[in-house]
A and B are shown apart, each in its own frame.
Chain A
Amino acid sequence: MSATIPYGATSAGAGPDMVRAEGVWKNFGSLEVLKGISLEVARGEVMCLIGPSGSGKSTFLRCINHLERVNAGRLWVDGELIGYRQKGERLYEMHPREAARQRRDIGMVFQRFNLFPHLTALQNVTCAPTLVGKLKKQVADDRAHELLTRVGLGDKASTYPNQLSGGQQQRVAIARALAMSPKLMLFDEPTSALDPELVGEVLDVMRSLAQEGMTMIVVTHEMGFAREVADSLVFMDGGVVVETGAPREVIADPQHARTRAFLSKVL
């Protein structure tokens, strides 16, 4: 069962890339938000995704775990096609049960935390493992304590989210996402809703996660984090990937005018 594999572990035999997007299009009605996104994220790679508001960063992340259905193109996570099954030339829509199974291997952290306010920090973390992973309560509790300790909140297990600071809430949210032992973590502006002095504690957790080999896609405006931690930097604008490369190089010497204009605003 996936829930017992420590995170960062890889399953042998799958393709070399953890995430592979090929010509992903997404529109909401007549509004085209993603216009052919192609990129690869290797195992253990940390990719930072930057771009102006409305460029489709969140939408792309949501497509990766099939919270949004793509209109064209393909997305694979760990060699598995997301949202569809392919038999020969034909694509078959996946049963929601299977889509849910795919999402278990993909952790997601939201800008506004989205912790369950009626559950304690511990219950937030054990929720998915007990309901979805069918883990025994005792086992799930032990593991949740371990995860909360890892994000520095071992003493907050029985606290409700609204009694925690923003930074603490986001760390609980990270622990919750880790509880299903995902192969891939998606972060959608995890520090944007935080007071400046609380950003560091969340980035620290993410940094150590990266060091342990977790594959991560991080939408962020924290250029310091991108420079230090990320292996690759992708700049998106208007639904397309404008520029991609090693963070230091892109930041120091952007090749495209749009990248330059954007970076001059966030740096």
Chain B
Amino acid sequence: MNAQSLRPGRTEGESDPARERIEAVPLRHPGRWLAAGVIFVAVALFVYGAATNTAYNWDYYAKYIFDQRISQAALVTLELTVLSMVIAIVLGVLLAVMRLSPNQVLSGVAWVYLWVFRGTPVYVQLVFWGLFATIYKQLRVGVPFGPTFFTIDPASAIDVFWLAVIGLALNEAAYMAEIVRAGILSVDEGQGEAATALGLSWWQTMTHVTLPQAMRVIIPPTGNEIISMLKTTSLVTAVPFTLDLYTRSRDISAETFTPIPLLLVASTWYLFFTSILMVGQYFLERYFAKGARITAGAGR
């Protein structure tokens, strides 16, 4: 194509260096360069300031980043995250399926659950779980108004760690349920119809046809939820549970009077775990995209 022929189309009298072929000078982005420059200078100043500012106490940071108490607390935070998310995902799938089921009793129960657990702050719920043993002094397993098989004493039988896990999981399950429900609804109606026409039951259709396809829509927001949960675990101090990363680092700083480096230590660990989770999410998304993209044998 001859650049000359493009000329008449141009309305402005800007300089056009191309003659035969289009060898146009790429559009310049002076604004971007300027912004990058400004940001670079700002960051450099900040880093310099942070490195020299004694309030950051970098020697304390170095001392505590691999402190055994901290790394143990990081592990506890990871356990809290993983356990509560596993429970939340299982329960969330169950609640979503219940909400969409043709059985009104099941869908009603799921609705009420969502209403309560999404409608109250997770912090408040955690405080409630902490008071569980106070509210229920004894759990009696048996026939109502009839004989008792055995009794459980919540105060001694249930560990605070598990109260924290339950508190986090039950709250998160409500959010997971909505994510899963949106995923299920995103699957083409014809899929369920074809499965039904083949003689699959409602449950088989759900587990073998609908849910596997819903995964593609469910995974990305679930990744966000896991990352969000990792940070929400810092609220378990409400139970009160004190062995997680945030509470632990705050307790240490209360002894050493150095809150800032310990906050940085905790943040570093949170960031580290979040980064790992992001990598995991990438691979999961790729796996469940199979059949959805043209790439031969994707994710098999």
Central interface residue in B193, B198, B209, by most chain A CB within 10 Å: B198
A117 adjacent to B198 (CB under 8 Å) = no
A108 adjacent to B290 (CB under 8 Å) = no
A110 adjacent to B296 (CB under 8 Å) = no
Please tell me if B202 contacts chain A, counting CB pairs below 8 Å.
yes
A162 adjacent to B294 (CB under 8 Å) = yes
User: Interface extent on A, as a size class?
Assistant: 20 to 34
B291 adjacent to A118 (CB under 8 Å) = yes
Chain B residues lying within 8 Å of A131, measured Cβ to Cβ, are: 200, 204, 208
Please tell me if A100 contacts chain B, counting CB pairs below 8 Å.
yes
Partner among B190, B200, B294 whose Cβ is within 8 Å of the Cβ of A114: B190
User: Interface extent on B, as a size class?
Assistant: 20 to 34
B200 adjacent to A118 (CB under 8 Å) = no
A226 to B67, CA, bound (A): 81
Please tell me if B157 contacts chain A, counting CB pairs below 8 Å.
no
A132 to B202, CA, bound (A): 12
Please tell me if A233 contacts chain B, counting CB pairs below 8 Å.
no
Q: In the complex, what's the smallest C-beta–C-beta distance from A167 to chain B, in angstroms?
A: 18
Chain B residues lying within 8 Å of A156, measured Cβ to Cβ, are: none
A110 adjacent to B190 (CB under 8 Å) = yes
B291 adjacent to A160 (CB under 8 Å) = yes
- Per DSSP, chain B at the interface is helix
A107 to B294, CA, bound (A): 29
A128 to B290, CA, bound (A): 21
Central interface residue in B194, B200, B291, B296, by most chain A CB within 10 Å: B194
| A162 and B190 contact, Cβ closer than 8 Å, known pairs A101-B199, A177-B198, A180-B199 | no
| A100 and B199 contact, Cβ closer than 8 Å, known pairs A116-B194, A119-B291 | yes
A176 to B193, CA, bound (A): 14
B290 adjacent to A100 (CB under 8 Å) = no
Q: Produce 1/0 per residue, B270-300, CB < 8 A to A.
A: 0000000000000000000011111010000
B199 adjacent to A163 (CB under 8 Å) = no
Q: In the complex, what's the smallest C-beta–C-beta distance from A63 to chain B, in angstroms?
A: 12
Q: In the complex, what's the smallest C-beta–C-beta distance from A248 to chain B, in angstroms?
A: 32
A110 to B204, CA, bound (A): 20
Please tell me if A96 contacts chain B, counting CB pairs below 8 Å.
yes
Q: Produce 1/0 per residue, B170-210, CB < 8 A to A.
A: 00000000000000000010110111111111101000110
A160 adjacent to B199 (CB under 8 Å) = no
A116 to B173, CA, bound (A): 28
Chain B residues lying within 8 Å of A160, measured Cβ to Cβ, are: 290-291
A100 adjacent to B209 (CB under 8 Å) = no
Partner among A110, A117, A128, A163 whose Cβ is within 8 Å of the Cβ of B200: A128
Partner among B199, B212, B290 whose Cβ is within 8 Å of the Cβ of A103: B199
B193 adjacent to A67 (CB under 8 Å) = yes
Interface residues of A (CB under 8 A from B): 65, 67, 96-97, 100-101, 103-104, 106-108, 110, 112, 114-119, 127-128, 131-132, 160-163, 173, 176-177, 180
Task: Kindly list 12 other residue pairs between chains A and B, CB separation below 8 angstroms, not including A96-B201, A100-B201, A173-B194.
Answer: A65-B197, A96-B202, A100-B199, A101-B199, A103-B196, A110-B193, A117-B292, A118-B291, A119-B291, A127-B209, A128-B198, A180-B198
9 contacts between A and B (CB under 8 A): A97-B201, A106-B197, A114-B190, A114-B191, A116-B191, A132-B200, A160-B291, A173-B194, A180-B198
Nearest 10 interchain pairs by C-beta = A104-B199, A114-B194, A114-B190, A128-B198, A108-B197, A118-B291, A117-B291, A160-B291, A103-B199, A132-B199
